[in-house]
């Protein structure tokens, strides 16, 4: 079976005729990555520990922002003889099932079900199904998988799960109502592209912030009413004329959806409607890997005390979100099948294109959507 992995370097062990090994840079850190071959795993369906388990073959996978810190840590700490297979989303074919597995059979296509905070089965970990989604053969408890219909292509399915489950969960918690004004930050992050796509059929006004105007036409076509450019190095974003105008026009934003709270909350929270009803939800932070790069992150904006004071005085709800429920993912799959929800796929790589795949996923400012690696 195959893996796409960060390798300990120098790659004396891995650099043979079968394996493909490439070097590249990420955030100033040198990486050695490879498409590696290893022995197939064995699966005995009759073994008691496999009664509820499923053997799958990964058809295609993708990586998320969260994997970046894992990759950088591996690049920094791995010994020469080791490798770390990465990736967190996938689409796979079911090869075999244990006798107690229900609703799945060989030949079905499945994606990761990252239900959190409970997996639904005692002893089975909640959250992401795997941090090694590039490992071609894997065994999972059936609760960690969800069947996906044939109408959803491998390219879309391989980048679907974490973004769809998280965005649908955030919008469920916000209880978004038709006619409301929603501000989505970091518009071109994958998470925000999922959110924007999920808002398209909800009858709301979507405003978005981004560090550049690149792909403005695409964002407007996805239903964004106005794209506002922000400068991350500028302290006071409330002086940006377009943001002042949006605040005046709307009387205050109803909901902010923010994948990077440490970039945005202290500079955008006062745009929320004051008095009552404003909601802010976040699913993540920007500063996840400075330990491995040595680049210092400088928080800007209101201090925690002022954030909480603003929330308290204005009855604002501050909502945290970590992935979502099975029902969120199923709803996204159903909406996708019915043409009400789409996934932005940037590009698809395969074969020896290891460097191209990782470079496009993490280094390219031209990326617009998920980057997929297909076996």
Binding status of residue 125 toward ligand NAP by CB under 6 A: no
**C-alpha 97, offset from chain centre:** 28
Structure tokens at 79: 């010994």
* Strands 89-97 and 53-62, bridge-based pairing: antiparallel
Binding status of residue 322 toward ligand NAP by CB under 6 A: yes
C-beta of 194: minimal distance to ligand NAP in Å?
8
Alpha helices (H) along the chain: 65-77, 154-157, 161-174, 190-199, 216-221, 241-250, 261-268, 290-293, 304-313, 326-337, 354-362
Return the range that interacts with ligand NAP (CB under 6 A); candidates 37-45, 58-66, 248-256, 349-357.
58-66
Q: Which is nearer to ligand NAP, 2 or 360 (CB)?
A: 360
Structure tokens at 222: 């996805």
d(CA 196, CA 341): 10
Q: Which is nearer to ligand NAP, 46 or 298 (CB)?
A: 298
The footprint of ligand NAP on residues 235-274 (CB under 6 A) is: 259-260, 263
C-beta of 51: minimal distance to ligand NAP in Å?
30
Cβ-based neighbour number of residue 37 at 10 Å: 14
Q: Which is nearer to ligand NAP, 82 or 290 (CB)?
A: 290
C-beta of 283: minimal distance to ligand NAP in Å?
4
Q: Please name which of 135, 139, 117, 138 lies closest in space to residue 126, comparing C-alpha atoms.
A: 117
Q: Which of 64, 197, 331, 347 binds ligand NAP (CB under 6 A)?
A: 64
Q: Please name which of 73, 93, 92 lies closest in space to residue 84, comparing C-alpha atoms.
A: 73
Q: Which is nearer to ligand NAP, 13 or 355 (CB)?
A: 355
C-beta of 333: minimal distance to ligand NAP in Å?
17
Task: Report the interhelical angle of 261-268 vs 304-313 (nearest 10°).
Answer: 50
Q: Site for ligand NAP (CB under 6 A): how many residues?
A: 23
Question: Is cis: bond before 150, omega within 30 of 0?
Answer: no
Q: Which is nearer to ligand NAP, 81 or 212 (CB)?
A: 212
Q: Which of 16, 66, 351, 364 binds ligand NAP (CB under 6 A)?
A: 66
The footprint of ligand NAP on residues 156-195 (CB under 6 A) is: 162, 166, 186-191
Return the range that interacts with ligand NAP (CB under 6 A); candidates 42-50, 143-151, 207-215, 242-250.
207-215
Q: Which is nearer to ligand NAP, 108 or 287 (CB)?
A: 287
- Binding letters toward ligand NAP, positions 217-236, x by CB under 6 A: ---------------x----
Residues 219, 222, 223, CA angle at the centre, nearest 5°?
95
Binding status of residue 88 toward ligand NAP by CB under 6 A: no
Binding status of residue 323 toward ligand NAP by CB under 6 A: yes
The footprint of ligand NAP on residues 284-313 (CB under 6 A) is: 284-285
159 within 8 A of 345, measured Cβ to Cβ: yes
78: Cα within 13 Å, side-chain hemisphere? 23
Q: Please name which of 61, 156, 56, 141 lies closest in space to residue 106, comparing C-alpha atoms.
A: 56
Fill in the DSSP letter of residue 127: S
Q: Which residues pair with residue 2 across a beta bridge?
A: 37
Return the range that interacts with ligand NAP (CB under 6 A); candidates 32-40, 150-158, 208-216, 304-312.
208-216
The residue of the chain with the least Cβ separation from ligand NAP equals 284
Binding site for ligand NAP (CB under 6 A): 64-66, 162, 166, 186-191, 210-212, 232, 259-260, 263, 283-285, 322-323
């Amino acid at each position: 079976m195959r893996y796409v992995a960060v390798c300990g370097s120098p790659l004396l062990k891995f650099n043979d005729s079968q394996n493909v090994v490439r070097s590249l840079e990420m955030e100033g850190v040198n990486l050695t990555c490879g498409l590696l071959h290893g022995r197939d795993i064995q699966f005995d369906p009759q073994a008691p520990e496999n009664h509820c388990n499923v053997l799958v073959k990964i058809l295609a996978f993708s990586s998320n922002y969260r994997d970046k810190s894992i990759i950088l840590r591996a690049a920094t700490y791995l010994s020469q003889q080791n490798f770390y297979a990465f990736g967190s989303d996938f689409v796979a074919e079911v090869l075999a099932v244990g006798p107690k597995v229900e609703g799945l059979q060989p030949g079905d296509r499945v994606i990761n079900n990252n239900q959190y905070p409970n997996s639904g089965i005692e002893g089975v970990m909640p959250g992401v199904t795997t941090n090694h989604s590039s490992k071609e053969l894997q065994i999972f408890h059936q609760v960690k998988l969800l069947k996906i219909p044939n109408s959803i292509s491998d390219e879309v399915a391989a980048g679907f799960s974490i973004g769809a489950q998280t965005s649908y969960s955030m919008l469920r918690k916000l209880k978004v109502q038709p006619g409301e004004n929603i501000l989505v930050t970091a518009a071109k992050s994958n998470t925000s592209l999922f959110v924007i796509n999920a808002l398209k059929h909800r009858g709301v006004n979507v405003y978005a912030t981004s560090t550049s105007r690149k792909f403005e036409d695409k964002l407007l076509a996805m239903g964004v009413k106005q794209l506002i450019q922000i400068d991350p190095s500028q302290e006071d974003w409330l002086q940006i004329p377009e943001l002042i105008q949006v605040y005046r026009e709307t009387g205050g934003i109803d909901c902010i959806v923010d994948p990077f709270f440490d970039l945005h909350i202290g500079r955008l929270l006062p745009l929320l409607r004051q008095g009552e009803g404003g909601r802010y939800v976040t699913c993540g932070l920007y500063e996840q890997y400075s330990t491995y790069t040595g680049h210092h992150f400088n928080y800007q904006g209101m201090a925690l005390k002022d954030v909480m004071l603003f929330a308290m005085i204005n009855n604002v709800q501050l909502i945290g979100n970590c992935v979502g429920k099975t029902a969120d993912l199923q709803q996204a799959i159903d909406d996708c099948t019915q043409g009400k929800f789409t996934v932005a796929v940037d590009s698809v790589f395969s074969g020896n294109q290891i460097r191209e795949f990782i470079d496009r996923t993490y280094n390219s400012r031209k990326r617009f959507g998920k980057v997929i690696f297909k076996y």
